[in-house]
Amino acid sequence: MHITVLKKETIDFLEIKKNGVYFDCTFGGGGHSREMLERCDEITLFCIDRDMSVYPNFEKLKADFPKANLKFINEKFGNLKTIIQNLQPIKIDGIAFDFGVSSMQIDSPDRGFSFQKDGNLSMEMGLCKISAHEFINSIDEESLANIIYKYGDERKSRIIAKAIVKARQNEEIKTTVQLANIVKAAARRYNDTIHPATRTFQAIRIYINDELLEIENAINAVYFAAHEGLHVSCISFHSLEDLIIKDFIKSHDKQNLEKDDFDKNYSNFVQKEQKICTNLPFFVKKLHNGVIAPSKDEISQNIRSRSAKLRAFSFTKNENFID
């Protein structure tokens, strides 16, 4: 069962208003879209998802909110810039992102995201170039080890990669449980409480779906759509996801840019400050301090929300920008 994470907080920051234009870039179960529409149903809302299996959720939403102007776009959110370009002229009031895999995908054995139930080794979120089955049976050992380490933060990545390559020489790896058992036997016991295959599955999923590149492309597209007052909410579940959003905010925050240059070289501060103030047409304005995490009550009701982090920001016009 899919439960929308940080639903209220995410939409609070978007400040939904009548006749506004909004984007739910990770539609999924439609929880964030529904929250927007419950606050004001006289809006235009673009629901984006690479996974066409969620379309029935969109149809239900459309039936429930007949006043709203709702559009479904079956596309990767990493192509957000192209999507926006195709909709021009358009002024967007709010954009929501909820990165990572959805509970609906995890809970469907045929999607191959989880080893809790046996299923075909797929892990495709939609519009993918390769499946986990093709990937795991063809990639070389060194590359596999590097991917498992980089995207899964797996300390035993080389041992696991070696075991996978050895196992596939005897038998093609086709199912989730088959792969999980190979990883478990190679990794053996851990000191932590998660299953030994969790990090490896995460790494493979992130890699074949280009998840981090998708986020980088999407957040850069947000700046393409920037204007005074555009509000953006981003939920991440993985440290690498959050780092992309954090770095984007940091690199476009006027106060932070000025502070960094002042700290690095006092004598050149004025010159650098002038450059900063003419380079960017808009600055990012953080809408809260730090990150927003789920409450204890939310975690108790939805254990999968425990690693969620919300960052929200808006844009302000740079009065000193030189075009």
Give the model confidence (pLDDT) of 25-84 as tens digits.
999 999 999 999 999 999 999 999 999 999 999 999 999 999 999 999 999 999 999 999
Structure tokens at 22: 């909004």
Give the model confidence (pLDDT) of 276-286 as tens digits.
455 789 999 99
Domain C-terminal end among 209, 241, 260: 209
Tell me which of 266 and 239 has the higher pLDDT: 239
Q: How far apart are CA 188 and CA 263, in angstroms?
A: 47
Cross-sheet strand order for the sheet of 44-49: 69-74, 44-49, 21-24, 94-98, 231-236, 309-317, 282-286
Q: How far apart are CA 37 and CA 316, in angstroms?
A: 26
User: Are residues 194 and 263 located together in one domain of the fold?
Assistant: no
Reported confidence tier of residue 190, pLDDT bands at 50, 70, 90: low
Per-residue pLDDT for 217 more than 90? yes
User: Are residues 215 and 313 located together in one domain of the fold?
Assistant: yes
Reported confidence tier of residue 145, pLDDT bands at 50, 70, 90: very high
Q: Which residue segment(s) compose the domain that 39 sits in? A: 7-104+211-317
User: Are residues 52 and 96 located together in one domain of the fold?
Assistant: yes
pTM beyond 0.85: the answer is: yes
Asked whether residue 1 is domain-assigned, the answer is no
User: Are residues 94 and 120 located together in one domain of the fold?
Assistant: no
- CATH number of the domain within which 126 lies: 1.10.150.170
Tell me which of 254 and 273 has the higher pLDDT: 254
Q: What pLDDT, on a 0 to 100 scale, did the predictor assign at position 268?
A: 47
Structure tokens at 177: 């449980």
- CATH number of the domain within which 233 lies: 3.40.50.150
Q: Which residues contact 265 (CB under 8 A, 6 or more apart)?
A: 272
Mean pLDDT of the chain: 90
Could you give the number of structural domains in the chain?
2
Domain C-terminal end among 209, 238, 253: 209
> Average pLDDT of 235-250?
96
Name which of 26, 123, 112 is nearest 76 in CA terms. Answer: 26
Reported confidence tier of residue 274, pLDDT bands at 50, 70, 90: very low
Q: Which residues are annotated as a binding site?
A: 30-32, 49, 77, 98, 105
β-partners of residue 182 are none
Q: What pLDDT, on a 0 to 100 scale, did the predictor assign at position 258?
A: 65
User: Are residues 289 and 300 located together in one domain of the fold?
Assistant: yes
Q: How far apart are CA 292 and CA 289, in angstroms?
A: 8
Q: Which residues are annotated as a binding site for S-adenosyl-L-methionine?
A: 30-32, 49, 77, 98, 105
Give the model confidence (pLDDT) of 157-181 as tens digits.
999 999 999 999 999 999 999 999 9
Q: What pLDDT, on a 0 to 100 scale, did the predictor assign at position 272?
A: 44
Per-residue pLDDT for 248 more than 70? yes
Nearest-5° Cα angle at 95, 114 to 201 = 15
User: Are residues 30 and 168 located together in one domain of the fold?
Assistant: no
Half-sphere exposure at residue 154, Cβ-oriented, CA atoms within 13 angstroms? 30
User: Are residues 168 and 299 located together in one domain of the fold?
Assistant: no
Q: What pLDDT, on a 0 to 100 scale, did the predictor assign at position 174?
A: 96
